[in-house]
Structure 1
Amino acid sequence: MSTYLFLYKGYTTPTPEIGAAWSAWFADHGHRMVDSGNPMSQGAEVTRDAVETIAPGLESFTGYSILTAESMDEAVEIAKTNPMITSVVVYELAKM
């Protein structure tokens, strides 16, 4: 079993329907959760030359979760069922 980071991309004002969809998704996959994560609000991208403020929007990362799956293919299939706003970016976490 491997561990995967799900980065949720996109923001829209929450509605009861969106909240219900996320609650149902977490209930379906709770047994896989290592860390159910948290939503993200304002952020900053820091480079050697600048700091750029990142506000929640359709192109920003707005949350994360860490889940287990048998393979990247399985993790991607799980991500496809997510009630995403824009997309879910999936990374396998290396074993250290």
Structure 2
Amino acid sequence: MAKFLLIYHGGGMPETPEEGEKAMAAWGEWYQGMGDAVVDPGAPVGKSHTVSADGHVENGGANPVSGYTVLSCDSYEAACAHAAKNPMVKDGSGSVEVAEMMEM
């Protein structure tokens, strides 16, 4: 089985405790539905910075990332099917990039 990195873009922080509980329940349900495919549930991430060869640091990053997850799946299709059910994708607040992790 291959490992796939799910990279989250967008989304947002809940504004109320009730919204937070609802969001956590949706994410928990999504993770539970993937079962053993979840290798690393990942985490949200803070503001990114892009460092270029000349040492310049751009705050905000070239393509801001909001979090990640690592899955083990038989194919890109399977990984993308899991990504399509992600709470951010379903509610339209963000997107999920899927990339196969290469073994070295």
Q: TM-score range by the shorter chain?
A: 0.7 to 0.9
* AA at the equivalent of 1:13: M
- Return the index of the structure with the highest Cα Rg: 2
Whether the aligned pair in 1 keeps the contact of 2:48 and 2:64 (CA below 8 Å) is no
Q: Quote the residue 2:23 is aligned against.
A: 18
Aligned partner of residue 44 in structure 2, secondary structure: coil
Distance in 2 of aligned mates of 1:26 and 1:73: 18
The letter for the 2-side match of 1:76 is C
> What is the TM-score normalised by the length of structure 1?
0.85
Q: Does residue 71 of structure 2 align to residue 63 of structure 1?
A: no
For residue 90 of structure 1, what is the aligned residue in structure 2?
Answer: 98
Contiguous gaps of at least 5 residues in structure 2: none
Any gaps of 5 or more consecutive residues in structure 1? none
Question: Taking every aligned residue pair, what percent have the same amino acid on both sides?
Answer: 34
Higher helix share: 2
Between the aligned partners of 2:28 and 2:58, the Cα distance in structure 1 is 32
Q: Which residue of 1 aligns with 2:9?
A: 9
1:33 to 2:38 alignment: yes
- The two structures have a TM-score, normalised by structure 2, of 0.79
CA contact (8 A) 2:45 2:66 kept: yes
